Every structure is written in structure tokens, then in C-alpha cells.
């Protein structure tokens, strides 16, 4: 894995932490990371709004504080929520970026992984459009693999995990429908980089 320090992420694929192949959609929901803390974890999530419905643009609206809380009955249950992820991958593989990678997005919430709390402080959050009990699309895996490879070049990533692994008992995504071996094979990374309880 990359051992390069975070120097503002200036490569052919990145400009000031923004990935060149993503649609940029700035979220106001972010902050600074603790000084001197390496970005060494990727957290993979699943999201759909309303749950189980895809392609309506509501996730993008949520992450930019533009969601109409009255547009669907479910939205009342999350009214006022201010969250973000660095990236969102639609069912067709389309990629959006909401927060520059050196900045702290609000995706993991109360979390703990491998002896460390507050995963938002040192992680990149990637949301896949989907549900935690269903499969994901081939186009999503293709985009996810390319994105993760680019993140590995820009940051000293040591681990990849799901939201379910950093917030066990509270979160279940990306869930049993996510193919961890497929991602591992695409990235060519050893077992130690993945959750111990994910399938191989």
C-alpha cells in the first residue's frame, strides 16, 4: 500500500483533493481533520433515499443540505440530518465527490476500528447506492475499484472496512450483498487490509 504522506493530493488524478473523474458537488458538511493524523482507512457504505429506491438524486440533495423533507414520508424521520461522504457511486457507476479527500467528511458517526475511535478523523467515506441486504451492480464495483486504486496512490491507506465494521450493532451496511473478495482481487491487496469477518 502507498506510504506517501498527504501533501494536499496533487497528482494527475487529483487536484487539491478532488478526483478528476468524479462529478464535483460541494457539501457544506465537512471540517478539518486533527493535525498530523494520517488518512489510512477507507469506509464503504450503502445508502438509498427513500430506502430501496434508486436514481432520484435524493442522496446528492441530502449531502448538500438540499433535500426537501416533505418530498417523501420517510424524509421526516431524518429531517435536519447533516451528513456527507467523500464519494457516492450510483447504480450505473456514476461517481460524485462532495468533500475533498484531505478534509473530514461526516459519514461514519460514532465509530471505532482496530483500537481507534472517531473513524471520520482518519478515513475516506465512500457511499454505494444500494441497500444493506441486497446486491450491488457490476458498474459500481468497476468505479469503486478504480476510485480505491486512486485513493491508494494519494493517501497511506492501510485498511478498508464497511460501516458495519466500524459501527457494529448500529450499522449494517454495506451488508452481506457486498462482494469483498471481488474488491480485494481488483485491488490486489492482502487479507490483512480487510475486515476479518468479511467473506473471502
- The grid coordinates of residue 74 equal 420517510
The span from the first CA to the last CA of the chain, in angstroms, equals 19
Pair 65, 29: CB distance under 8 Å: yes
Q: Which of 16, 127, 142, 164 is catalytic?
A: 127
- The grid coordinates of residue 27 equal 457539501
How many C-beta atoms surround the C-beta of residue 158 within 10 A?
18
- The grid coordinates of residue 107 equal 459519514
Q: Has 16 been annotated as catalytic?
A: no
Which are the contacts of 73, defined by CB distance < 8 A and separation ≥ 6? Answer: none
On the question of a cis peptide bond just before residue 198, with omega within 30 degrees of 0, the verdict is: no
Q: Residue 142 and residue 93: Cα distance in Å, rounded?
A: 7
Strands 87-89 and 95-97: antiparallel
- Residue in this structure with the C-alpha cell 464519494, named with its chain if needed: 87
Catalytic residues: 127
Amino acid at each position: 500500500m502507498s506510504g506517501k504522506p498527504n501533501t494536499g493530493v496533487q497528482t494527475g488524478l487529483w487536484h487539491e483533493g478532488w478526483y478528476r473523474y468524479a462529478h464535483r458537488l460541494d457539501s457544506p458538511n465537512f471540517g478539518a481533520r486533527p493535525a498530523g493524523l494520517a488518512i489510512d482507512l477507507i469506509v464503504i457504505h450503502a445508502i438509498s433515499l427513500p430506502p430501496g429506491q434508486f436514481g432520484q438524486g435524493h442522496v446528492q440533495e441530502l449531502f448538500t443540505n438540499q433535500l426537501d423533507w416533505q418530498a417523501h414520508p420517510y424524509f421526516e424521520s431524518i429531517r435536519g440530518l447533516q451528513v456527507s461522504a467523500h464519494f457516492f457511486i450510483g447504480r450505473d457507476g456514476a461517481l460524485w465527490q462532495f468533500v475533498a479527500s484531505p478534509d473530514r467528511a461526516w459519514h461514519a458517526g460514532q465509530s471505532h476500528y482496530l483500537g481507534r475511535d472517531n473513524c471520520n478523523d482518519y478515513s475516506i467515506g465512500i457511499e454505494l447506492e444500494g441497500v444493506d441486504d441486497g446486491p450491488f451492480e457490476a458498474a459500481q464495483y468497476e468505479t469503486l475499484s478504480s476510485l480505491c486504486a486512486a485513493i491508494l496512490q494519494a493517501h497511506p491507506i492501510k485498511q478498508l472496512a464497511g460501516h458495519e465494521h466500524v459501527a457494529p450493532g448500529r450499522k449494517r451496511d454495506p451488508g452481506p450483498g457486498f462482494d469483498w473478495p471481488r474488491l480485494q482481487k481488483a485491488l490486489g491487496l492482502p487479507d490483512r487490509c480487510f475486515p476479518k469477518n468479511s467473506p473471502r
